[in-house]
Chains A and B, each alone.
Chain A
Amino acid sequence: MDSESTHTGISRRRFLKDGILVPLALAVAGGGISTLFLRRADARGFYLRPPGALEERRFLAACIKCGKCAQACPYTAITMAGGEAGVGIGTPHIIAREFPCRLCPDIPCAKACPSGALDRKLEDVEKIRMGTAVIVDRENCLSLRGLRCEVCYRQCPLIDKAITIEPRHNPRTGVHSIMEPVIHADKCVGCGICENACVRDKPVIVVIKSPPVQKDYYEF
């Protein structure tokens, strides 16, 4: 508990620091410059936002960088982005490898949001969509090499929904099965617990920006 409160303290301090920086950044940024900043933020990569966050551009516009969501998080998972985030400086995000979102049933972070950047009406954790987990490095995934790891699967809070195990024959030994963790994008909430739990030095499963839903009429 002690370490948790310390961490909250840090993010609060950082928030205060950011609180000074942010208006400065805004003041400096004119129209063209702000687009530049936005581009830079996008290029920097994907920010895992707290549950119920609006689409990234709208989120950036709506978030007032007050840090209330970070304060509400009992797991110190939400931290405020630093200068590297460009215009997103001071916005809340989650570094899953350090502290993933634990999917609190009452979603206190979203409830605490005064600006609407996070959806306060969100009730069901299974409806959260922060991102989607993907095995990005199949070569280094121990489960795919036939070892009985599957830590990502067993630690998944939506076990058997967001991640399932699909066994297939392991031709290397001839008598064992490879237990392949398969991620189901329609169920994955992007909490990052799998990314956090992965036993490799560089996690082979990470949360990325959810791919857009592509409409088609092919039902099979």
Chain B
Amino acid sequence: MEVSRRDFLKATAAAAAFAAAGGAVLKPKLAEAAEGGIKWGKAPCRFCGTGCGVLVGVKDGKVVATKGDPAAPVNKGLNCIKGYFLAKILYGKDRLTKPLIRKGNKMVEASWDEAMTLIAGKFKESIEKHGPDSVAIYGSGQWTVFEGYAASKLFKGGIGTNNIEPNARLCMASAVTGFMTTFASDEPMGVYDDLDLGDTYFLWGANMAECHPVLFSRMIDNRLKNPKVKIIDFGTRRTRTSQMADTYIRFNPQTDLALLNAIAHVIVKEKLYDEKFIQSHVVFKKGKTNIGYGLEDKFKFVDEPKPMTFDEYKDFLKTYTPEYASKLSGVPTATIVEMARLYADKNRKVNSLWTMGFNQHTRGTWVNNLVYNVHLLTGKICRPGENPMSLTGQPSACGTAREVGTFTHRLPADMVVTDPEHRAKAEKIWGIPAGKIPAKPTYNATEMFRALDRGDIKVIWTQVTNPFQSLPNLNRYRKGARKGDGRFVIVSDMYPTKSTEVADVILPSASWVEKEGVFGNAERRTQQWFKMVDPPGEAKNDLWQTIELAKRLGHGNLFPYKYVEKEMWEEYRKFGEGQGKDMAPYEAYAKARGLRWPVVNGKETLYRYAEGHDPYVKKGEGIKFYKNKKDGGKAVIWARPYEPAPEVPDKSYPFWLCTGRVLEHWHTGTMTGRVPELKRAYPAAVCEMHPDDAKKLGIKNLQKVKVSSRRGTIILPVDLNGRGKAEKGNIFVAFFDENKLINELCIDAYCPISGEPDYKKCAVKVEKA
């Protein structure tokens, strides 16, 4: 398709993209004239997985304002405080504007040609000497679809290595494997509308009040309107979410596995399950147990699913009496029974919502399976207002990492490299020789940086992420990057970070509306935006950077596009067509405030697997999990046991450490830390601790403490009465602060099935500093 960007903009009336406040569509000229010469364009927010729509005000080549987009269905004109300051993330004083090359201990300015020649040379040399698996790219759930797609195509289809991973491995991988093992298709069946339509919300390990702020205010509004609405917060830390919930249920870390099995136990014992639903839509399976924790290098695990009957599953549940779960979890027996009955109440529309508490878990896949079990037993799934919903953390964890499939084992549209048919399909669409894509996955994110530390990976390129702040057991990987001996680290970013510190080459990147992009949010909504301003100095789009490397490695033919984004999109959507992962033509996204896939005949889908909603479900089928062909279109209830965490508090390290986010900051703070207002609002990380624990140690509020694990130590002030209230025996530290690298303390144990590390549990000690 030979369409230039100019033609395209004309044809789709770029007008659609440049809408005035209030959502009315104006022609570009009019929009320009409006509001003091400020031109407004639409874009999704750059931060979390909620995917709020914003209007971006541009004047004199600069983003001068942003505001919530009233026409965006996700947020209807609202934002959180991070979204309010979006414009400012682009204009930090220390924006990177020129490529930098390490010369000794100094980073020296270089031209793009010099930098790319050096990088291409290192890639060629390493591939020649050590093979294609010695080079790697580590990307992001903040990659645009195009950036992720180009990286995957170059590495899997051009260089011929599966050495590609996104930081989403650290945040969403367990949700993916949960969806894949239960439904054989990634991403939720429900949508955000369920926040308005349901009446019972179980939150598991999700601090929605701070981490999905706009969605939280939507759920709270539902409760204001409907007195029947109940919000139950299961957690290990009393958060702002717990504060506003109707019920807060504190449990001991890791025992969510036992609690969910106990809830299933009660539902089965009291015959509260939906027999008809189970007969028509469910099969039962069990997998391996005692599956390890991925603590040793080159850890490998392959599950062996075995079918079981409902009766066998009932037998499995016998262990999980409320009494047993109560003993493990600390939750009263009566509460467990009450919660099971609430889940099963025929007069209630029940939703479960979860985030990192489930996903960053050494049994993350299992605990995702277990929450689906409860919804499948009770048949409360695939209906408006009652669904399990995994909330995502990044703006395109779904759109890029998961849908494009930028994991070592994945290809677009739920396909995997281990399947010869999937590889053949990808090779055909990509126009590359058969057999080019390697059949074996290589490393998950943690293993990728272990390989760099060992020297098995020599050249690594990171884009739109900050692994040298965000990896667990950080000390090992920071040291590993600087071990020399042919190791070469390339970091593309907009600002200096903890990762650029260890880089051999730093490439200055365009960000957000300095480039054209597509993100996909947590409710399957695909959102497009146009480039609105030029990046500063010589900063360039990561997409351009990747294609530039491809050209220099002789793979330029993989990217034969004139209008790169549009043509790449049309190629990419061939993967999902007819697979229940259908995307609309590019121009549809230029006009819409996002569309929820599958988009068939121009119509988006609200409820997957449900007749009348999902075009893939035939009349009379009601609900059909059609993606799980090998189980006859049924979903799987998994018998997954409770197994303890790899490192539990003991005499030497008596506290659990949990890490997470605060509302004011995003991830490692590289963007929000440059917004003076957000920095002022929350300047530095603190250690939340229970006042009784502090008293025992003679520690007063605000006093500095030394927190140590077997892997690292940091010193920071203690907060005994903050926004988050640690339970006894637990502490919490946010991970945004680059001066307090809490991830140095975290353990790099991961879920053997998903490969996602557990940032929520390790053993630490606390002393007066």
Contact = CB atoms under 8 A, between A and B. Distances in A.
A38 B222 CA distance: 55
Given A157-B721, A172-B77, A148 B680 contact: no
B649 to A, nearest CB: 26
Contacts of B240: 154
10 contacts: A146-B217, A147-B78, A148-B213, A151-B81, A155-B682, A169-B225, A176-B75, A178-B217, A199-B84, A200-B677
A167 B221 contact: yes
Interface of A: 102-106, 142, 146-151, 154-155, 157-160, 165, 167-170, 172-179, 196-200
A144 B240 CA distance: 18
A154 B244 contact: no
B681 A151 contact: yes
Contacts of A178: 217
Nearest to A143: B81
Interface string B103-129: 000000000000000000000000000
Interface in B674-727: 677-678, 680-682, 700-702, 721-723
A175 B677 contact: no
A161 to B, nearest CB: 9
B77 A149 contact: no
A146 B67 CA distance: 12
Contacts of A103: 701-702
Q: Which 5 A-B pairs have the closest CB atoms?
A: A148-B213, A173-B76, A148-B80, A177-B221, A199-B677
Contacts of B213: 148
Interface string B76-96: 111111001100000000000
A147 B721 CA distance: 25
A167 B220 contact: yes
Contacts of A159: 721-723
Contact of B218 (A160, A176, A200): A176
B81 A147 contact: yes
B606 to A, nearest CB: 15
Nearest to A145: B78
Interface of B: 68, 75-81, 84-85, 195-196, 210, 213-214, 216-218, 220-222, 224-225, 240, 243-244, 662-664, 677-678, 680-682, 700-702, 721-723
Contact of B700 (A106, A154, A160): A106
Contact of A147 (B84, B677, B678): B84
B457 to A, nearest CB: 40
A169 B221 contact: yes
Contacts of B85: 199
Contacts, number: 105
B475 to A, nearest CB: 24
Contacts of A165: 243-244
Contacts of B244: 165, 167
Contacts of A102: 702
A200 B680 CA distance: 11
B224 A175 contact: no
B220 A177 contact: yes
Select the residue from A151, A167, A175, A198 with max chain B CB neighbours within 10 A.
Answer: A175
B678 A199 contact: yes
A175 B76 contact: yes
A136 to B, nearest CB: 18
B80 A147 contact: yes
Contacts of A157: 721
Nearest to B192: A175
A176 B217 contact: yes
Contacts of B721: 157-159
A168 B220 CA distance: 9
Nearest to B240: A154
Main SS of chain A's interface residues?
A: loop
A148 B225 CA distance: 19
A90 B225 CA distance: 55
Contact of A173 (B77, B195, B216, B220): B77
B217 A142 contact: no
Contacts of B68: 147
A185 to B, nearest CB: 19
B208 to A, nearest CB: 11
Nearest to A149: B81
A5 B229 CA distance: 53
A37 to B, nearest CB: 35
Given A148-B214, A167-B217, A173 B722 contact: no
Select the residue from A103, A147, A200 with max chain B CB neighbours within 10 A.
Answer: A147
B681 A105 contact: no
Nearest to A168: B224
Nearest to B717: A102
A149 B84 contact: yes
A185 B196 CA distance: 35
Contacts of A147: 68, 78-81, 84
A175 B73 CA distance: 10
Contact of A148 (B196, B217, B243, B702): B217
A8 B439 CA distance: 65
Contact of B78 (A150, A155, A176, A200): A176
Nearest to B213: A148
Nearest to B664: A151
Contacts of B700: 105-106
A168 B224 CA distance: 7
Given A149-B84, A199-B677, A173 B78 contact: yes
A165 to B, nearest CB: 7
Contacts of B722: 159
B195 to A, nearest CB: 8
Given A105-B700, A165-B244, 13 more contacts: A103-B701, A104-B702, A147-B84, A148-B81, A148-B214, A151-B682, A154-B723, A169-B221, A170-B78, A174-B76, A197-B682, A199-B677, A200-B677
Select the residue from B79, B217, B240, B244 with max chain A CB neighbours within 10 A.
Answer: B217
B160 to A, nearest CB: 46
Nearest to A102: B702
Nearest to A173: B76
A157 B81 CA distance: 20
Contacts of A174: 76
Select the residue from B210, B243, B721 with max chain A CB neighbours within 10 A.
Answer: B721
Contacts of A154: 210, 240, 662-663, 723
Contact of A175 (B216, B218, B662, B681): B218
Contacts of A106: 700
A128 B90 CA distance: 42
Nearest to B721: A157
Nearest to A176: B217
Contacts of A151: 81, 664, 681-682
A167 B224 contact: yes
Contact of B680 (A149, A168, A179, A196): A196
A4 to B, nearest CB: 13
Nearest to A106: B700
A218 B221 CA distance: 34
Contacts of A148: 78-81, 213-214, 216-217, 663
A148 B218 CA distance: 11
Nearest to A97: B680
Given A154-B240, A165-B244, A199 B217 contact: no
A172 B68 CA distance: 12
Given A157-B721, A170-B221, A105 B77 contact: no
A150 B682 CA distance: 12
Nearest to A165: B244
A184 B681 CA distance: 21
B690 to A, nearest CB: 15
Contacts of B196: 175
A105 B682 contact: no
Contacts of B225: 169
B217 A177 contact: yes
Contacts of A160: 243
A197 B224 contact: no
B271 to A, nearest CB: 37
Contacts of B682: 151, 155, 197
